[in-house]
Amino acid sequence: MLSPYVEHPEKRCPTSSQRTQLPQVARDFKIFYKKVDGKTPGSYTMDHSAGSYVFDPKGQIRLYNRYGSGPVGLTADVKALLKGA
C-alpha cells in the first residue's frame, strides 16, 4: 500500500545533472544550506534549514511548518486549510 510513496534512498539522491539545479530549487523554496568543513581533513557537515511544506492537490504550497514548532499550531493550520481558509 505504501510502496508508491516509499522509495529506496538511492533513488532519491540527485543525479549530477540535477545537482546543478539545487541552488535554484533552494532559492525557490527559501531553503538555507551551507557546507561546513569538519575537524578532520575531507570531513564536513551540512548546515540547513529544517521544516515541512504542505501542498494542496494542485501542487501549490499552502503551509510551511518550522521544525520544532510543535503539533498545536500545525494542527490549527491544517484544520484551517481543510475548512477552505
Instruction: For the chain, list the domains and their CATH numbers.
Output: 9-82 (3.40.30.10)
Residue carrying C-alpha cell 540535477: 18
Q: Tens place of pLDDT for every residue, the chain, 85 residues?
A: 556 656 665 665 666 677 788 899 899 989 999 999 999 999 999 999 999 988 888 888 899 999 998 899 899 999 988 887 5
Supply φ then ψ for residue 34, to 5 degrees: -155, 130
What are the helix (H) ranges across the chain?
A: 9-12, 16-19, 22-28, 71-82
